[in-house]
A and B are shown apart, each in its own frame.
Chain A
Amino acid sequence: MAKFYDLFVNFMLVGLVILSLFAFGSFFQSDNNIENQFMENSLMNDTYGQLRTDLGGLRDKSQAQKTLFESENPTSGFGTILLFSIVSTGKVFNGMIIGTFNTIIKLPVVFLGIDPIIVSILSTMLILTIIIGLWVVYKLGGG
């Protein structure tokens, strides 16, 4: 069964590790005054910037969702408690997974010439996993 929480944590870890590699490489090259640094490549620079934006906004978005979750008054449903803020949480965090995926997948597509069909299949698998994972979260309140 798809677990949305695990998927989210894994993707954020992937983003963090890739961002760290970018940052380490960039600082190493600029500190040692290396000519033709790899960050001078526009796509590498854009990817680094996009990852910084994606991961940097994580705290604010999660804080906003936490506030929304806390402000909601739970209502009783049939054998369960209804909390509609979980839907908003799911929407925000699944967007972050897709965003990180789209940012990272650009590099192999451009530099290694990966076929768009492969990217399409990977995207489909990811989106389907997210949908099923979110459904489990909405239905059972967890995964």
Chain B
Amino acid sequence: MVCAGLETLVDNSITGILAFPTSCDYQFYAKIMGAFFIVLSMILYNRDKDKFLKSDMISAMGVSAIATIFVSLIGTFIKIIQPDIFIEIFVIGMIFIVIWLLKK
């Protein structure tokens, strides 16, 4: 995939710079949120493992899903995440939350 260089950047504000990658890859922030979700899940899982000697991956993923949804919501506020991308993130996050709550 060949993307336009930074010389084509028109909007020099913070939000403009943050939104620039979506001009090349529409799903850019969906992937970023996916990475955020995985990293946060791993951090929570390992923290619990160190703290309680017993850890639950599903719980860590459920909590991370809520955090990811909130971060994505802030992303829609600064216009770097489009509504359809937010809906995808919301629905995927919802699945993890449902699994987490039903597992209890």
Binding site for B on A (CB under 8 A): 10-11, 13-14, 17-18, 21, 24-25, 28-29, 32, 34, 36-38, 40-41, 44, 104, 107-108, 111-112
A interface, by DSSP: helix, strand, loop or mixed? helix
CB-contact partner of A10 in B90, B92, B102, under 8 A: B102
Q: Are B87 and A18 in contact (CB under 8 A)?
A: no
* Nearest residue, chain A, Cβ from B95: A108
In the complex, which residues of chain B have a beta carbon less than 8 angstroms from the beta carbon of A18? 94, 97-98
B44 at the interface (CB under 8 A from A): no
Instruction: Give the A-B pair count, Cβ closer than 8 A.
Output: 56
How far is it, in angstroms, between the C-alpha of A127 and the C-alpha of B63 when the chains are bound? 28
In the complex, which residues of chain B have a beta carbon less than 8 angstroms from the beta carbon of A21? 66, 69, 90, 94, 97
Q: Are B77 and A14 in contact (CB under 8 A)?
A: no
CB-contact partner of A28 in B77, B87, B94, under 8 A: B77
In the complex, which residues of chain A have a beta carbon less than 8 angstroms from the beta carbon of B28? none
B6 to chain A, nearest CB (A): 26
Q: Are A10 and B95 in contact (CB under 8 A)?
A: no
In the complex, which residues of chain B have a beta carbon less than 8 angstroms from the beta carbon of A25? 69, 73, 90
A20 to chain B, nearest CB (A): 10
* Nearest residue, chain B, Cβ from A105: B98
